[in-house]
């Protein structure tokens, strides 16, 4: 089991979510986050160009069985890229091992709980 | 004053007060400070409805569109107020030109000829003009509810400017100017006290046409667009209720008996509408929602708008209750049909306006009917008045629908009206304004 964490652009959430559902990945958690990477985003505030220190992004967390990792990652990459080449600021995907998964309702554990 | 620009109500007010002789300035040159003070207050109250509407609509859209949606109301305060001063007042309250399509009076161009004018009601004409100007601001802002979350800001600005000139001003002229053809229809004119046809039917129908032409928001059929802030919507609904006292009671252009009658009818219908809505909702869906209460307030207020000058409290109770039932049904039907009138501009303003304008005939106070009979030279029945109302409603619907379609078609095929998919997903706040409404959502 793996935990896939993806940081994506705010405006790509609908694309990514719809693409994941199409690939039958339907169990996801979404949150608003802020952070900084390579991207520099200029904003105009009262006529002055300012560079906010933290840029808003969306974080997706998806727990999957090993056989679904590739589909999930490919789907996110495809749907979260700004255009065919991609742009700085499109985000990142982290994959980490997942020790256990427990469904609260039934208490079942492991791959079948995902 | 040339004595040609009077709102329907002057005639009625004159009838009521002529016996006392103390309210209307005889030579038209004396300011009645009581009336003027109330009209100034009413003008401010109607203006308060515009930020109220901004909050009502802003709270109902998604987080990413809150500023863009509030800007629809605020932009109307800018653009419509400018146009009103330049040509709007003249087009609405000047004398018939082009076969009565709209009015014109060169004295009213830039309001330059009314600097010293005191109207027969004892009110400086500036006050009357500014009061009427607030209606011209509110009406196009109401339409924005129908196509919220999916239009370009630039397209919207052009739309309301052209709509104000070609739809609002002519309708206002027909219904409220003393030589408007609806003002003079039947025994005592089509009854539209404060804007059932001019404001609510016009905006509601235009909204429906726009919503149908522009199509639904992305993903509309699959997911509900969750309101960003219902607390703000409730505050907005409250401000609208308060402001409506200026809207309706101010439309008496007086500070006396008729004002009191309109104010009482307004309060009564709003309360009846709100209570009816949550009762229907409780029976139908099991819960009384805050948004339902707010919607009921609006349904009641919209329905009593054309009727406030002619109905007594019992009639106002009935109008509010009936309007809530009809508007609730209209929204259910909308959900069934699947078109995207985002914030129910048609469901509440269109349907509420139609119901109020038609049903009011069954609740007209007797003295009004007697006066109508006298001016008809004998008899005037409820059904004859119903016919007049139906014609006025049909004309407002037909004219607003046709012109709105032409304007939107022209704008969408030139500078663009419908947002791109990308802009819609990013949200109007970021795309058109480069800002975000809820700064606290993300750490910065």
Give percent of chain B above pLDDT 70: 93
pLDDT band at residue B13 using 50, 70 and 90 as cut-offs: very low
Which residues of chain B neighbour A32 with C-beta distances below 8 Å? 441-442
A32 interface with B at CB cutoff 8 Å: yes
In which element (H, E) is residue B308 found?
A: none
- Give the residue-averaged pLDDT of B346-372: 95
Alpha-carbon distance of B9 to B153, in angstroms, equals: 37
Alpha-carbon distance of B307 to B268, in angstroms, equals: 12
Sequence length of chain B is 444
Looking at residue B201, the DSSP 8-state letter turns out to be I
In chain A, how long is the greatest CA-to-CA distance? 57
Q: Where are the alpha helices (DSSP H) in B94-228?
A: 125-143, 153-163, 169-176, 202-214
A87 interface with B at CB cutoff 8 Å: no
Give percent of chain A above pLDDT 90: 68
Q: Say whether B426 and A11 touch across the interface (CB within 8 A).
A: yes
Which residues of chain A neighbour B425 with C-beta distances below 8 Å? 11-12, 14-15
Angle between helix B257-285 and helix B8-17 axes, rounded to 10 deg: 120
- Tally Cβ neighbours within 10 Å of residue B223: 11
pLDDT in tens, B185-196: 887 889 999 999
Alpha-carbon distance of B96 to B93, in angstroms, equals: 9
How close, in Å, is residue B305 to chain A by CA atoms? 41
Structure tokens at B259: 């004002």
Alpha carbon B88 to its chain centroid, in Å, reads 16
- Give the residue-averaged pLDDT of A35-45: 83
How close, in Å, is residue A62 to chain B by CA atoms? 21
Of B93, B120, B114, B116, the residue nearest B105 (C-alpha): B93
- Give the residue-averaged pLDDT of A23-29: 93
Alpha-carbon distance of B397 to B357, in angstroms, equals: 12
User: Lowest-pLDDT range, A72-81, B241-250, B431-440?
Assistant: B431-440
Q: Tell me: pLDDT of B10 over 80.
A: no
Alpha-carbon distance of B156 to B162, in angstroms, equals: 10
B311: region left, alpha or beta (phi > 0 left; psi from -120 to 50 alpha): beta
DSSP notation for B52-115 = HHHHHHHHHS-GGGHHHHHHHHHHHHHHHHHHIIIIIHHHHHSEEEGGGTEEE-GGGGGGGGGT
Alpha-carbon distance of A85 to A96, in angstroms, equals: 26
Q: Say whether B442 and A54 touch across the interface (CB within 8 A).
A: yes
Residues 6+ apart with CB under 8 A from A19: A75, A76, A78, A79
| Average per-residue pLDDT for chain A | 91
Residue A98 confidence (pLDDT): 95
Do the Cβ atoms of A94 and A5 come closer than 8 Å? yes
Do the Cβ atoms of B384 and B372 come closer than 8 Å? no
- Give the residue-averaged pLDDT of B351-375: 94
- Give the residue-averaged pLDDT of B310-324: 97
Query: What residues does each domain of chain B span?
Result: 8-216+228-427
Q: Say whether B219 and A53 touch across the interface (CB within 8 A).
A: no
pLDDT band at residue A49 using 50, 70 and 90 as cut-offs: confident
How close, in Å, is residue A109 to chain B by CA atoms? 32
- Tally Cβ neighbours within 10 Å of residue B161: 18
pLDDT in tens, B138-169: 999 999 999 999 999 999 999 999 999 999 99
Query: What residues does each domain of chain A span?
Result: 2-113
Cα angle for residues B49, B51, B52 (degrees, 5° grid): 55
- Give the residue-averaged pLDDT of B91-95: 95
- Give the residue-averaged pLDDT of B383-395: 94
**CATH classification for the domain delimited by A2-113, as one of 3.30.750.210, 3.40.50.10330, 3.30.70.120, 3.30.70.1070:** 3.30.70.120
A10 interface with B at CB cutoff 8 Å: yes
- Give the residue-averaged pLDDT of B83-102: 95
**Reported pTM:** 0.90
B439 interface with A at CB cutoff 8 Å: no
Structure tokens at B307: 């009727």
- Give the residue-averaged pLDDT of B371-387: 90
Residue A54 confidence (pLDDT): 85
In which element (H, E) is residue A94 found?
A: strand A91-97
Q: Say whether B444 and A54 touch across the interface (CB within 8 A).
A: yes
- Give the residue-averaged pLDDT of B91-112: 94
pLDDT band at residue B16 using 50, 70 and 90 as cut-offs: very low
Which residues of chain A neighbour B430 with C-beta distances below 8 Å? 11
User: Lowest-pLDDT range, B6-15, B68-77, B190-199, B259-268?
Assistant: B6-15
Residue B17 confidence (pLDDT): 43
Residue B444 confidence (pLDDT): 65
Residue A31 confidence (pLDDT): 94
- Give the residue-averaged pLDDT of B364-377: 91
| Residue B299, SS3 per DSSP | helix
Alpha-carbon distance of A62 to A72, in angstroms, equals: 9
**CATH classification for the domain delimited by B8-216+228-427, as one of 3.65.10.10, 3.10.105.10, 1.10.3430.10, 3.60.20.10:** 1.10.3430.10
pLDDT band at residue B29 using 50, 70 and 90 as cut-offs: low
Residue B27 confidence (pLDDT): 47
Residue B9 confidence (pLDDT): 47
Q: Tell me: pLDDT of B26 over 50.
A: no
- Give the residue-averaged pLDDT of B202-224: 90
């Amino acid at each position: 089991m793996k935990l896939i964490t993806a940081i994506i652009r705010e405006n790509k959430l609908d694309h990514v979510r719809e693409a994941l559902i199409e690939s039958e990945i339907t169990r996801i958690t979404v949150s608003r986050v802020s952070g900084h990477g390579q991207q520099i985003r200029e904003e105009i505030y009262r006529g002055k160009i300012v560079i906010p220190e933290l840029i808003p992004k969306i974080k997706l967390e998806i727990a999957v069985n090993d056989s679904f990792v590739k589909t999930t990652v490919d789907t996110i990459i495809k749907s979260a890229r700004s255009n065919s080449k991609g742009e700085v600021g499109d985000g990142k995907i982290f994959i980490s091992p997942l020790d256990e998964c427990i469904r609260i309702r039934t208490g079942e554990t492991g791959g079948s709980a995902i | 004053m040339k004595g040609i620009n009077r709102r329907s109500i002057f005639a009625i007010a004159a009838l009521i007060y002529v016996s006392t002789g103390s309210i209307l300035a005889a030579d038209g040159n004396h300011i009645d400070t009581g009336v003027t003070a109330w009209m100034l207050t009413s003008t401010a109250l109607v203006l308060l409805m515009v930020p109220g509407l901004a909050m009502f609509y802003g709270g109902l859209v998604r987080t990413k569109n809150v500023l863009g949606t509030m800007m629809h109301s605020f932009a109307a305060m800018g653009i419509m107020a400018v146009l009103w001063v330049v040509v709007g007042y003249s087009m609405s309250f000047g004398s018939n030109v082009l076969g009565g399509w709209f009015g014109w009076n060169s004295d009213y161009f830039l309001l330059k000829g009314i600097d010293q004018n005191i109207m027969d009601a004892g009110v400086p004409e500036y006050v009357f003009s500014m009061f009427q100007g607030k209606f011209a601001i509110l009406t196009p802002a109401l339409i924005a509810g129908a196509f919220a979350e999916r239009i370009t800001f630039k397209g919207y600005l052009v739309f309301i400017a052209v709509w104000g000139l070609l739809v609002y001003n002519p309708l206002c002229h027909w219904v409220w100017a003393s030589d408007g053809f609806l003002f003079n229809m039947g025994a005592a004119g089509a009854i539209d006290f404060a804007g059932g046809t001019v404001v609510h039917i016009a905006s509601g129908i235009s909204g429906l046409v726009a919503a149908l032409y522009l199509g639904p928001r992305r993903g509309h059929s699959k997911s509900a667009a969750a309101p960003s802030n219902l607390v703000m919507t409730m505050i907005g609904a409250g401000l609208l209720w308060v402001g409506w006292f200026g809207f309706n009671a101010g439309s008496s252009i007086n500070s006396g008996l008729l004002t009191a009658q309109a104010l009482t009818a307004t309060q009564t219908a709003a309360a009846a509408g709100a209570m009816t809505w949550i009762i229907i909702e409780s029976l139908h869906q099991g819960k009384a929602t805050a948004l339902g209460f707010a919607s009921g307030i609006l349904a009641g207020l919209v329905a009593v708008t054309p009727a406030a000058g002619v109905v007594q409290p019992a009639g106002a109770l009935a109008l509010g209750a009936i309007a809530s039932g009809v508007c609730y049904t209209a929204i259910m039907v909308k959900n069934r049909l699947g078109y995207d009138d985002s914030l129910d501009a048609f469901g509440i303003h269109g349907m509420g306006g139609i119901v109020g304008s038609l049903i009011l005939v069954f609740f007209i106070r007797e003295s009004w009917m007697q006066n109508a009979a006298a001016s008809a030279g004998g008899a005037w029945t409820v059904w004859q008045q119903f016919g007049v109302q139906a014609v006025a409603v049909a004309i407002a619907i037909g004219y607003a629908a046709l012109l709105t379609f032409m304007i939107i078609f022209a704008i969408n095929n030139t500078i663009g009206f419908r947002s791109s998919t990308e802009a819609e997903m990013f949200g109007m706040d970021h795309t058109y304004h480069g800002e975000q409404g809820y700064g606290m959502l993300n750490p910065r």
